[in-house]
Structure 1
Amino acid sequence: MAYTLGIDIGTFESKGVLVDVATGAIIAQAAHPHEMLVPQPGWAEHRPEEDWWGDTVRIIRRLLTESGVDPAGIVAVATSAIGPCMLPVGADGKPLMNGVLYGVDTRAEREIADLNAEIGEAAILEVCGNALTSQSVGPKILWLRRRHPEIFAQTAKVLSSTSFITHRLTGEYVIDHYTAANFSPLYDVGKLDWTEGLTKGIIPLDRLPKLLWSTEIAGQVTAAAAAETGLAEGTPVTCGTIDAAAEAVSVGVRRPGDMMMMYGSTIFIIQVTEAPVRDSRLWYAPWLVPGQHASMAGLATSGTLTHWFRDQFARELSREDAFPKLAEEAAASRPGANGLIMLPYFSGERTPIHDPKAKGAFFGLNLTHTRGDMYRALIEGIAMGTAHVIETYRDLNAAPDRILAVGGGTKNALWLQATSDFGGVPQIVSEKTVGASYGDALIAAIAVGAAEPEDIAVWNPAVESIEPERTAAHEKHYALFRRLYEQTKDIAAQLSVPE
């Protein structure tokens, strides 16, 4: 029998699966939690050695031990991780600081403004396919160069999270095109290559990883990595990609019009398109294979908010009991949460408003409101933020043909239904909602010719459809949600000014 192994590093948890290539059956799976570090407001970090590589080693060893599979039977390994991230490493490949996370980290706001002024927003969008936002890695590298010149001087390469794991497995410095497109203004989407055409003031291009497609083999497991992980030396390892892309693969996103709705620490959306969709409200990248395109969107905080609410307002409940109890209380509150609206901008917001100064808020509170009303308002606020993204796709004549839901949040029936209701869209839920690590296992199989993309229909068939139940309350609250942000964003911006 032949197996593939997929590893994914998420914001709060890492997961791994060992899969039978012939059937897509999961032979073993493992997970390990870690924390997102927030050293100051607007910052978000991981410890690369402990959270990225450490979790990778722990999970692989657990999969091999629990399955009893001979490592020689694993035909390929693929990894994914949160991203895009920014991690400088020295000449020995060792991290020089914590990894700076994706768009939830807004530390480079000044650098974004300076690069827009220097280059011009229109020129950046034309060459890079993306506006500069908190998701962009280029401004974060510039932040490093300006604020920590001593670290920048030691930097041999700047990696993303997946690049770091691939390097530790293979010794190679590589990055996939999908991830590289988030390094604006350093990546030219037309030429599919790094560029200094817009600015030379960020980093020499030889300090960036080699570009590959996600289904290309980056290298083989080294003797050192084999000793740490238990894998067989010489096992092929793919280039890897961002977790959201692998998650999309896991539920069958593969043709134009397919959209993934990922319910995780953030909502992340990927739609495969026939041609590039270039709009400053969304993100663009080449898809995982040549000739295909992807249009992306993402909220800054989603599942993270449910964890925040549980930790702050349900402390008397155990972790096992908290979410079921909160869901029960929220279900007793009717749609509209008895007149409450929640703005989910607890760490600014990414698409479509790209406002790092946006603030979270519960609006409309009175003495009759309960914890259940507040939790329902929180879920509906996330759903309305998602509906705003779906509305943006419609405005661009790029509405999805089908939406495939995936991620841990799919276990939250209230969240799934609210997303369909406010967005006015049906959603498909597949049999397996393991997520990105399962998509990695398929990518690994494709990379060595052991499977085709279409095999996902057999590996992971659809089992449920969530139909929208849009009411007058949904229409009213969504309109008020949109107005509430517009009418308070100047106050939010003032709150961001240090006293």
Structure 2
Amino acid sequence: MPALLGVDLGAGSLKATLIDETGRTLAEAAAPIASQTPKPGWSEQNPAEWWQALTAAVPQVLAKAGLPAGGIAAVGLSAGAHIAVLEDADGEVIRPAIMWNDQRSIQEARELHDRAGETIIATGLNRANPTWSLCQLAWLQKHEPDAVARTKRLYLAKDWLRSRLTGDWTTDYSDALGALMSDVATRSWSPDLCDLIGWDMASLPPVRQPEEIAGRVSAAAARATGLAEGTPVVVGANDTTVELYGAGAIEPGQGAIKLATAGVVFLACDRPEVHPPVSCYPHIMPGLWYMASGINACATAHRWVRDTFFAELPPETAFAEMDRLAAGIAPGADGLIFHPYLLGERAPHWDPKLRGDFIGLTLGHGRAHFARACYEGIAFALNDVLLAARQLSGATFGDMCLLGGGARSATWRQIIADVTGLTMKVPANGDASFGAALVAGVGGGVFADPAAAVRQCCRIVEENRPDAGRHAAYGRTFEIYDEARRVLTGINHRLHDGD
């Protein structure tokens, strides 16, 4: 029975998953990755650490499964979008990779929008903001021109990592669109958008389909990873694309919410939707697209509350204790409200100077209330994105799949169901590495087509339905949450004018 390897490069760790042709997980392994924040609002990673993580996780997953190197039919990779890696003529990485949650290019984003906002949206389908590579590269042009001048090749994150395996240089359209430097009409790089920032198009990789074979594992990579030399590696796609696909959302109207480092809301649609600030990307399914928009701090905020209020406990024990205590507090956390803007905020406010807070604090509140307010505050932030997507697109959301590590929490799942009024379903495996493995199976000939892979491998294992009474109560609390955000926006701007 052929095995498929999916590798996802997350913001905090790299995960490798082995599955069989029924979607059964054979083994999983992960390795940590660290981000650096040289200045407030900045977020960078060293690509060399990505490769170190891959060469740690892949041998582990092969050993756990007891598979020989030649037992892998194909490999697929995914990673966060909007993460550019610059290489010089010698193949050396020039500088750390700027991450998707980095906010340094807010001024460049405003300038690009003021100068060519309509062109950017019409061509690239999305609005300029600090998340997109276009704005980050504009910042580099202004502040690090020597780095730009030395750039021979630009990679997106998953493509750079794959190039260490195969030596190829290519990308897929989900990552090309995520750079905000491509043309939705031609599905290729846009001269007009590149010209806006003076970027040399010769440094941009060819664009191919996610399931196409990009290359094969080299002899050197085989020695480093334990994979067999010559194993096919598909192009792959960005993490949100393979996550939505791997969750089984392959029809218009189906969607998902991801509870990971960032929180993301997805909705599949049958055509490109232009509704900035909600983003739009191509789906793995031919002819299908999906809307996506997210918040900066989801698991990040959850982890901060854990480390701040449960520091005496080991990490996993602390998460379990947070869950237990939060479940014992009534909805509304006795008037304690949390805004999870610890890294500024993306959707739907796109304001890097928003800041997190707890409001309504009294002597009667303990750490159980902070845990409950944390879950609720993140749910409110995700609901904010859902409401914006509905208002902008007129789309109807049905049941939603919950993805990411946070989906393991029954308490959090129920809170999100009650806040949004939507049924939350948990797939057997909603990880991006699982979706990447499915794409590998399509390219490797294990599955007849992308739909066949989903039919064979995707199933739901948990479901949380909303309670009407709690949904109504949360609606009233959400109004206070939103009003407080509006009132505090000006104060946060005054506090952080120098950032």
Q: Same fold (TM over 0.5)?
A: yes
1:443-462 aligned at under 5 Å gives the runs 443-451=439-447, 452=449, 453-462=451-460
Partners in 2 of 1:183 and 1:495 — Cα distance?
A: 32
Q: What's 1:48 paired with? A: 47
Which residue of structure 2 lines up, in the alignment, with residue 187 of structure 1? 182
Q: CA deviation at 1:332?
A: 2.3
The question of 1:342 aligning with 2:341 is answered no
- AA partner of residue 498 (structure 1): G
2:210 counterpart (214, 218, 242): 214
Give how far 1:318 is off: 2.0
Tell me if the contact between 1:283 and 1:295 (Cα under 8 Å) persists in the aligned partners: yes
Matching residue within 221, 226, 233 for 2:222: 226
Alignment of 1:353-392 (within 5 A): 353-392=349-388
Deviation per residue, 1:222-256 (Å, 9 max, x gap): 22212221212221111122222222222212121
Structure 1 counterpart of 2:280: 284
Q: Deviations over 1:162-195 (max 9, x none)?
A: 01111111111111111111212x2111221111
Give the conservation status (yes or no) of the 8 Å contact 1:188–1:194. Answer: yes
Matched-pair contact (CA < 8 Å) for 1:141–1:202: no
Q: Is the CA contact 1:78–1:443 (under 8 Å) kept in the aligned structure 2? A: yes
Whole-Å separation in 2 of the counterparts to 1:259 and 1:489 = 30
Counterpart residue number, 2:475:
475
Provide the residue aligned with 1:73 in structure 2: 71
Extract structure 1 runs of 4+ deviating beyond 3 A: none
**3-state DSSP class of the match of 2:14?**
strand
Contact kept, 8 Å, 1:166 with 1:174, in 2: the verdict is no
> 1-side partners of 2:93 and 2:309: how far apart?
37
Using the alignment, how far apart are the partners of 1:152 and 1:249 within structure 2?
35
Give SS of 1:197's match. helix
SS in 2 for 1:181: helix
Q: Distance in 1 between matches of 2:28 and 2:90?
A: 32
Q: Contact between 2:44 and 2:99, CA under 8 Å: does it hold in 1?
A: yes
1:131 aligns with 2:127: yes
How far the C-alpha of 1:136 sits from its partner, in A, is: 0.8
Q: Is the 8 A contact 2:172 2:208 kept in 1?
A: yes
Q: Residue type of the partner of 1:414? A: T
Deviations 1:365-424 (A, max 9, x none): 122111111221111111011111111232222122331112111111222111111111
Query: 8 Å contact 1:48–1:99 — kept in the other structure?
Result: yes
Equivalent AA in structure 1 for residue 48 of structure 2? E
Q: Which amino acid aligns with 1:416?
A: R
For 1:317 and 1:229, the matched residues in 2 are separated by 34
Residues 264, 382 of structure 2: 8 Å contact kept: no
Equivalence for 1:25? 24
- CA offset at residue 289 of structure 1? 4.5
Tell whether the 8 Å contact from 1:177 to 1:288 is kept in structure 2 after alignment: no
DSSP 3-state at the match of 1:29: strand
Contact 1:8 1:81 (8 Å CA) reproduced: yes
Match of 1:116 in 2: 113
2:427 match: 430
AA aligned to 2:229 is E
Instruction: State whether residues 261 and 267 of structure 1, in contact with CA within 8 Å, keep that contact through their aligned partners in structure 2.
Output: yes
Cα-to-partner distance string for 1:101-120 (whole Å, 9 max, x where unaligned): 11x1101111111212221x
SS at match of 1:270: strand
Match of 2:417?
A: 420
CA distance in 1, matches of 2:25, 2:317: 28
Distance in 2, Cα, partners of 1:329 & 1:26: 32
TM-score by length of 2: 0.95
- Tell me what 2:315 maps to: 319
Tell me the amino acid that sits aligned with residue 495 of structure 1.
L
TM-score (norm 1): 0.95
Distance in 1 between the 2:2 and 2:91 partners? 32
Task: Show the counterpart of 1:13.
Answer: 13
1-structure distance, mates of 2:155, 2:216:
19
**Matching residue's letter, 1:404:** C
- Hey, what's the Cα distance between the residues in 1 that align with 2:319 and 2:398? 32
| 295-304 vs 479-488, greater mean Cα deviation | 479-488
SS in 2 for 1:254: coil
**Which residue does the alignment assign to 2:163?**
167
Aligned residues of 2:241 and 2:282 also touching (Cα < 8 A): no
In the alignment, what sits opposite 2:290?
294
Tell me the matched-pair count. Answer: 493
SS at match of 1:390: helix
Name the SS of the counterpart of 2:159 in structure 1: helix
Partner of 1:256: 252
Q: Is the 8 A contact 2:305 2:370 kept in 1?
A: no
- 1:305 maps to 301
Q: 1:227 to 1:92 in 2, by over 3 A?
A: farther
SS at match of 1:91: coil
Aligned counterparts of 1:96 and 1:379: Cα–Cα separation in 2: 39
- Letter of the 1:132 counterpart: A
Give unmatched runs, 5+ long, in structure 1: none
The separation in 1 between residues aligned to 2:30 and 2:129, in whole angstroms, is 31
8 Å Cα contact 1:4-1:20 kept in structure 2: yes
In the alignment, is the contact (CA less than 8 A) between 2:36 and 2:45 conserved in 1?
Answer: yes
Describe the shift of the 1:463–1:67 C-alpha distance in structure 2 as closer, same or farther (beyond 3 A): closer
- Quote the RMSD (CA, aligned, Å): 1.6
Shift of 1:338: 0.6
Contact 2:75/2:232 (CA < 8 Å) preserved in 1? yes
Which residue in the other structure is 2:405 paired with? 408
**CA displacement at 1:199 relative to structure 2:** 5.3
Which residue matches 1:268? 264
Unaligned runs of 5+ in 2: none
Report what 1:147 is aligned to.
143
Gap change, CA 1:389 and 1:36, over 3 Å in 2: same
| Deviation for aligned residue 1:78 | 0.3
